[in-house]
Structures are given as structure tokens and as C-alpha cells.
Structure 1
């Protein structure tokens, strides 16, 4: 769904993420990455491999939530966050702009079906609802229920009820992508050195 509705400068796909040192992430259900300014996206044995600098967000999509599934999703997200990312100064006609700071990689958990009370098995955020959010979670979309959001700055937690949580999530994601602007300028030479070895 995401790849159909995102603006064309972005792409969403099941993919692996790689860094210029040759480290790979686990396979991620949904990687949202820059397609306009990413000079290369690998494809190997029908698997998409995205450079770490191009990644905006990673999501795990599951049928249900449990403590084990959330811990599994956390490990997969951590495999992306630990990757090395480069950012070079940006040349222009009058000289160069400083290298762009690395953008945060957002993460989330997309649930297609929910039955009963959710116990996510991580830090307690709203005990009356039985909701446990994974650390650093940005979004959780629950089919037919609503959308959970939180942030790392003040750990605020919000649940928005709604009949169209997937649509609300899509609009929220597009707004975040617009706010982030372009990804950093990738050090292509660093990838070239890795691939040459």
C-alpha cells in the first residue's frame, strides 16, 4: 500500500539495508527510502538492498502483537540503526555547503488485525489500556482501531481513534517525510571501496 500512495521521490519495499563498511541489516518488512537522490539501489537474487543513508523509516508488519513479536521487531530495527551512515559536504556553484546532519530513522509496528487487549511487553505507557510500546517507537497502526504515536523527546504517548488509521498513518508519514527534506549526500567512494574488496 505505501509504495502506491507515497510521492514518487520515495519508495517503500521489503528490503535489506547495507552500509559502506559492508554491514547488512536483517530483512525489514517495510523500508521507506529516498529514490530521487539515491544513486543506487542494489538487487540481488530478487532482494532489494538499500544504502543506509537513503533510509527514512523502517516498519515491521504483523498480524498481531505480543511481547515476543515486539522484541523481535526491536532487534530488526536495531540492525538498521547500528549501521554506519555517511554525509558529505554538498558542492554548489559558489563552493560547498556543510554536510547535512544525519536524519533520524523512524520506526514502527503495523498491525493488520487486533483482537483483545494489547500487551506489547515493553515499557508501560498507558496501563488502563494495557498498551506497552517498544522503546523508540514512532507509530503503531492498528487496523480498524486507530493509530498510536509517541516520540523520543518527551516520551509522550497518543492514541487517535479512527475508522481509517492506515490513511491517517499515510498522511502522518508523508508530513514527516516532507519535514525531513532530502537525505544526506552519500559517500559513493566509500561504497566503491567496499565493493572493490
Structure 2
């Protein structure tokens, strides 16, 4: 088969497999922590598998050059092009805020309490102080990039709302830039994305068809619109070490030794 029908089959297969995995974890695991850790790992795996290679997906805390740290974040989408991982050991990571595209909270169900909890997590990331430095290439420096708003969202298996995207569900979301959620997915039911106007109004794009895949494409659309993360200003991070630059003029009467191609001084 070719054409749109084949694409629909691929989307349906990916969606069905992932929802089945989430359902199995729901039914097999009783301990809340085990269930939560497993579900978090499942979301990380599916995003890591399907996102383009430029994006990294993990879990951890976000840190800035002042040493301020976010709350623990379940799913972090970040970029290693311009920024290093400051610490990574057995799943625990400190990720520089400059490298972060998006953060998500993972819960079993969509509820008012979990929406507010996810908003607090997102707020703790957006409150960090990001740097932005020029980007250097063979063609010379490119000016420092303006900072974008880090994408935030909530990923769940099912919803406490009936229907999932009821007026009460939408009303539970903040409109404030510092903690609002941009994207969400109820894997067994629907994917949704919010758009916020400067007038304070809110619009929502939804899809009940293959919701996990729909969410993935909504996410890719948002990530593409961000282009790339800012380059980290390493000078700001170096202030922690209290570095000093000390003038050290050489003895101009003593010429430096001439170096052979082999690297040995010429006698």
C-alpha cells in the first residue's frame, strides 16, 4: 500500500505499541514509585527513539551560572552542541539551562493537581538565568541569539476529566508566561497544544487520532520553531573560579627557540 493510508498505518502502529506499554505498566505495577519511574522511562525512550539526533532526552535538574537549580524534571529535551553536561552519574544529571528546549512532567493521570504540579516544575526552570554568547564558525561570529521561552508540558496515560479536554481542564491552566504549559498528551485519549495571544486569549489544537504520534508532531513543530539553543557564555560560568589574568611579559632580549616540524627546538 502507498499514499496516505500507509502513513496512517505507521502512525497507528507506533501509537498502539506505546499505549500498550503504558497500559501494561499501569496493570502490572502497584507501587507508585515503580510505576512512575517506569512510565517516565517509557516516555524518555519513545522520544529518544523518534526525535532527530540533534535532540537529547533525559531526566535531571537544570542549573544556571549562578548555581541556582530547578526542581527535578522528569523529561528534559536538550542540545549538546554548545553546552556540556555538568554532571552525569547513574541517571542523575545537572544540565545547563542554556541547552534546554523543553521540559515535561510525567504523571499517570491528567488532573487539576497534576497540572498545577507540572506548572511549578516548569516555573522552576524558566526562572533560571540563561546566558547567550556569540556563535563562532568558519565565517566568523554570529551574534548571540535572543532567548526563547522554554517549552513546558504534561504527559499522562489517562485523564480524570470527562471529556479529557473539558472547560474545567482548560481553566486549570495558568496563562502566565512563567509557568504556563504549552503541550500535553493523554496517551490513551488525546494530544493537545496551547497557543497564547498577547491579548491574554488562549487557543488549543487537539487530536484524538493516534494521540501519542500527534503529540510527537506537535512537539517537533514547536522545537523547529525554536531553531537552536543559545550558545553558553563560558565566561559567566568561570566567575565561580575567581580567575585572575596576570600580565607576564617575556624577556624581549631572549628570542624564543625556533621549532622544527617535529616539534623539537632547534639548537
**TM-score of the superposed pair, with normalisation by structure 1:** 0.84
Q: Does 1:149 align with 2:212?
A: no
CA distance in structure 2 between the partners assigned to 1:146 and 1:162 by the alignment: 4
CA distance in structure 1 between the partners assigned to 2:122 and 2:59 by the alignment: 13
Tell me the residue number matched to 2:109. 64
- Unaligned runs of 5+ residues in structure 1 are 120-124
1:188 to 216, 221, 234: 234
Alignment of 1:93-104 (within 5 A): 93=138, 95-104=140-149
2:211 to 165, 171, 174: 165
Structure with greater contact order relative to length (CA < 8 Å, sep ≥ 6) = 1
Tell me the residue number matched to 1:140. 184
Q: Which of the two has greater strand per residue?
A: 1
After the TM superposition, which parts of structure 1 deviate over 6 Å for at least 4 consecutive aligned residues?
none
Paired residues, number: 190
CA distance in structure 2 between the partners assigned to 1:176 and 1:130 by the alignment: 22
**TM-score of the superposed pair, with normalisation by structure 2:** 0.64
Compute the displacement of 1:36 (Å): 2.8
2:119 to 74, 81, 84: 74
Please tell me the root mean square deviation across aligned C-alpha atoms, in Å: 2.4
Distance 1:101 1:169, change over 3 A: same
Compute the displacement of 1:99 (Å): 1.2
SS at match of 1:15: strand
Q: Which of the two has greater helix per residue?
A: 2
Tell me the residue number matched to 2:33. none
The 10-residue stretch of structure 1 (32-41 or 62-71) with the greater mean CA deviation from structure 2: 32-41
